[in-house]
Amino acid sequence: MPTAAANPPIAEPAACPLCDAALDSARAEECPKCDWVPGYRRRQLPRDNTRDVIAVFLSVVPGLGHLYKGHRLSGALYLLGSAFAIVAVAVAATFTAGWALLLAPFYWAGVMLQVYWLEDRVAHSATPA
């Protein structure tokens, strides 16, 4: 009678929980596509809509909403980038009889939408009821 050690069961390929890529075995050490490792869980912070709305209003000055949510580097880059965006729109407006001024609201709307959907890195305490 053969033993179980002589004929080990063949493991079916598993799927990565993050990107659904096929893993080499059920006991894979990491995903070759997205670098997932066993034990990794996405950080799930409670979704607080008021912080998102505050960040959107702060993003009237691009980058302040990112700083409010704890993304310091991207906030600083958006602050610096907004100065370049204003200059680029002003230069383009001189060559297009002012029509390029319509590009600025798209830039601001894009920054505001991005900060609304951005994950909050700052741990905030629940307000007492």
Residue 109: both structure tokens together: 């709307």
Q: Are 32 and 22 in contact (CB under 8 A)?
A: no
pLDDT mean over 41-46: 55
Q: Which of 39-43, 80-84, 108-112, 118-122 has the lowest mean pLDDT?
A: 39-43
pTM: 0.57
CB atoms within 10 A of CB 113: 12
Q: Read off the DSSP letter of residue 128.
A: P
**Main-chain phi, psi angles of 54, to 5 degrees:** -60, -40
With a cut of 80, say whether residue 126 has pLDDT above it. no
